[in-house]
Amino acid sequence: MTQPLRKPERQGIERLREEARRRVAAEGLRPFAARTAIPLGRLRGLLAGRAASSATIEAAAAALGLEISIAPPRDAAAAGRPAGNTETLLREILSRLPPSAQPAAGELADAAAQAQPGMRDEADALPGTRLIGVRELAAAAGAGAADMDETVTGYVGFRRTWLERHALDPAQCSVIGVMGESMEPTLPENCSILVDHRRGRRRDGHIYVIRAGGSLLVKRAGKDAAGNWLMVSDHPSWPPAPWPADAAVVGEVKWMARTL
């Protein structure tokens, strides 16, 4: 049986999210975002339970009148491990993930996403596990997301065997969030997707993250009767649209996860 992580800092983040949800319910999403100067994409991610950057957390805490405190774990001595030992902490995180999780050992809002960037080298040495960066970036399944901050906020652990089976190089992949409904039911809003940045050649029927007109989109590639490329949405209410002439393929979507 998987034991829950004892993380006071996670409890603090959950309290922050609950307070933010109450405030947004009272004054509205956009007014709260404007008052706090938090981009809409990041605020939606915070409210949905996704990993948030320190800047987003600090801005939300200041607006809500909450204080942020960082300290060594209280149970570090009792657990027999020194505070700040990143490799020990990462082994504990990964050991608590359910072995039946397929294909990824963890998901964006789970414990592995809280691993700090400095842990990547230690994690890569663990047998059977590779880490892929979670980026503070959202691709819109709709009209486009302008949130282009590509800061790595954490990592998600994937099994080496799964990555090898799908010919994925962790150094050339990233995990990002999806906004909007146009790719539902395949990619629900607020789900997380793994993007393979090596795969930029369009293939009919495959799903891609596209950069066009200063925004990011996630769409399925398709063709019309004349052979022209189209951006196709899986949601029936969104009709196909011409593939933008200035579009650049960021990568192909190879995996999706969401919190139920």
Q: Which two three-digit tokens encode residue 75?
A: 């149970």
- In terms of C-beta density within 10 A (0-12 exposed, 13-18 middle, 19 or more buried), how is residue 12 classed? middle
Q: Which of 11-20, 142-151, 173-182, 187-196 has the lowest mean pLDDT?
A: 142-151
The reported pLDDT for the residue numbered 133 is 85
Asked whether the predicted pLDDT for residue 59 surpasses 70, the reply is yes
* Half-sphere CA count of 146, side-chain side, radius 13 A: 5
CA neighbours closer than 13 Å in the CB half-sphere of residue 5 = 20
Mean pLDDT of 130-151: 65
pTM, 2 dp:
0.55
Write the pLDDT tens digit of every residue in 86-111: 445 445 544 444 443 333 433 333 33
Q: How confident is the model at residue 54 (pLDDT cuts 50, 70, 90)?
A: confident
What integer pLDDT is reported at residue 231 of this predicted model? 95
| Choice between 124 and 175, residue whose per-residue pLDDT is larger | 175
- C-alpha 223/C-alpha 241 separation (Å) is 10
- Is pLDDT at 3 greater than 70 in this prediction? no
The Cα–Cα gap between 169 and 89 comes to 25
Minimal CA–CA distance to 193: which of 228, 247, 145? 145
Kindly give the pairing relationship between strand 229-232 and strand 241-242. antiparallel
- Residue of 243 and 214 predicted with greater confidence: 243
Q: What is the model's pLDDT at position 195?
A: 93
249 vs 88, more confident: 249
Give 221's pLDDT tier (boundaries 50, 70, 90).
very high
Domains annotated on the chain, with CATH: 8-64 (no CATH), 95-257 (2.10.109.10)
Tens digits of per-residue pLDDT, 20-46? Answer: 888 888 888 888 888 888 877 778 878
C-alpha atoms less than 13 angstroms from C-alpha of 170 in its C-beta half-sphere = 22
- Kindly state the average pLDDT of the residues 219-231: 95
Axis-axis angle for helices 40-48, 54-64 (nearest 10):
80
Q: Is the pLDDT of residue 226 over 70?
A: yes
Q: What per-residue confidence (pLDDT) applies to 104?
A: 42
